[in-house]
Amino acid sequence: MFLQATPAFSPHATVFVTGLQAPVAFVQDSSDANVFYAVEQDGRIRLVRNRAIERDFLDLRSAVLSGGERGLLGLALAPDFAQSGRFFVNFTNRNGDTVIARFRRTGGSIADPASRFDLRWGPEQTPVIAQPFANHNGGQLAFGPDGYLYIGLGDGGDGNDPEHRAQTPSSLLGKFLRIDVNVPDGHPAGYVVPPDNPFLDGVPVQARPEIWSFGVRNPWRFSFDDPALGGTGALVFADVGQNAWEEIDYEPRGGGGLNYGWRNREGAHANVQSRAPAFQPLIDPIFEYGRSQGQSITGGYVYRGQSLGPAARGRYFFADYISRRVWSIALTINPSTGTATASNLIEHTDDLGGSARIGSISSFGADRAGELYLVGHTTGMVFRLVGGPPAPSSFRIAR
């Protein structure tokens, strides 16, 4: 709980597009600022042009098992998407396992289903990442400032990670992965491991080479603080908690090889201790909240736009899916280490029209100008955050 000043900005939510079915991601086309791709959990990606749904960009419903925490969960456009047309999706296949697939779009701004290639993992060239349970699939994938593809994978599900997968070096589950997908179409795996991935030298543990970091439970949404807009390039992610704590973690640019502690810790608190972590130290979150505030955190973005005004720039916006609330926190960056501390929690739910209006927020989006979008899973709407007049100066305790 922070003592907080009411900010000198007042964000409002305007409806950007409506008529979607259970959207879980919203991504701007890097070659056309008027085009966005809305990812629907059941397996469709809708092309949104000039704030209206124009048509299906890709329909994977026949290949996707949707419901609960499964479905079509993530979309990332390659850095050279404007030239190559390549993009990547994360979905749950009909057997309940995770698939990371590459596609190309045609010249007519529609995806070519025949271009699908499922990335193949490890020396066995397995085209899926096996999921032992129906929950904690993660779902996000995004390209970092280094041009590599990052994938957030949950611990495989059930409660308290029963097989300790997030701390098992031979498992991809409960980890962030980092891979280089800038390979020819004929490459047998569809990726190579970057030469500077942190565990290639076997220190501090021998681990799968694709692993970037350990010890996450369900990093449903993450983002990078955009250097092109003055950001630090840091990886900022929200990890959904078990029974008590929701957390936000901040990783300085290039700071892989870390262990965020799950299942030995939930947030900054001791959890299941029956088996040791893979290695130490365990990294504390920069912010956490308990069940009086929410039960399922939705990670967002560090704001780098202009619409909300200078007081909002550099603040991290996030939401809670269950309590239907939206907040932001200020980030103070240590110039020597690149690490961050959080302060000045501000709730924006009422300014955005209230919980009933915005519904359950499944994701955030950001455009090339750094402006933010809220993805309403239960409303089928995407809202754009816009600025308003300064709020009156006062102090209050964060709820």
110-113: long-range contacts (C-beta < 8 A, 24 or more apart)? 110/47, 110/55, 110/56, 110/57, 110/58, 111/45, 111/57, 111/58, 111/87, 113/58, 113/59
pLDDT tens for the chain, residues 1 to 399: 455 555 568 899 999 999 999 999 999 999 899 999 999 999 999 999 999 999 999 999 999 999 999 999 999 999 999 999 999 999 999 999 999 999 999 977 899 999 999 999 999 999 999 999 999 999 999 999 999 999 999 999 999 999 999 999 999 999 999 999 999 999 999 999 999 999 999 999 999 999 999 999 999 999 999 999 999 999 999 999 999 999 999 999 999 999 999 999 999 999 999 999 999 999 999 999 999 999 999 999 999 999 999 999 999 999 999 999 999 999 999 999 999 999 999 999 999 999 999 999 999 999 999 999 999 999 999 999 999 754 443 333 333
Tokens 């209206």 sit at which residue? 52
Q: How far apart are CA 6 and CA 8, in angstroms?
A: 7
Whole-number pLDDT of residue 396: 36
Contacts of 242 (CB under 8 A, 6+ apart): 159, 160, 217, 266, 271
4 three-class SS: strand
Q: What is the CATH number of the domain that holds 310?
A: 2.120.10.30
Whole-number pLDDT of residue 389: 55
Whole-number pLDDT of residue 79: 97
pLDDT in tens, 274-309: 999 999 999 999 999 999 999 999 999 999 999 999
Q: How far apart are CA 140 and CA 160, in angstroms?
A: 21
Whole-number pLDDT of residue 267: 97
Residues of the domain holding 232: 3-397
pLDDT in tens, 358-368: 999 999 999 99
pLDDT in tens, 89-144: 999 999 999 999 999 999 778 999 999 999 999 999 999 999 999 999 999 999 99
Count up the domains in the chain and report the number. Answer: 1
Whole-number pLDDT of residue 2: 52
Whole-number pLDDT of residue 332: 98
Whole-number pLDDT of residue 108: 74
Whole-number pLDDT of residue 398: 38
H/E element holding 87? strand 86-92
Whole-number pLDDT of residue 9: 85
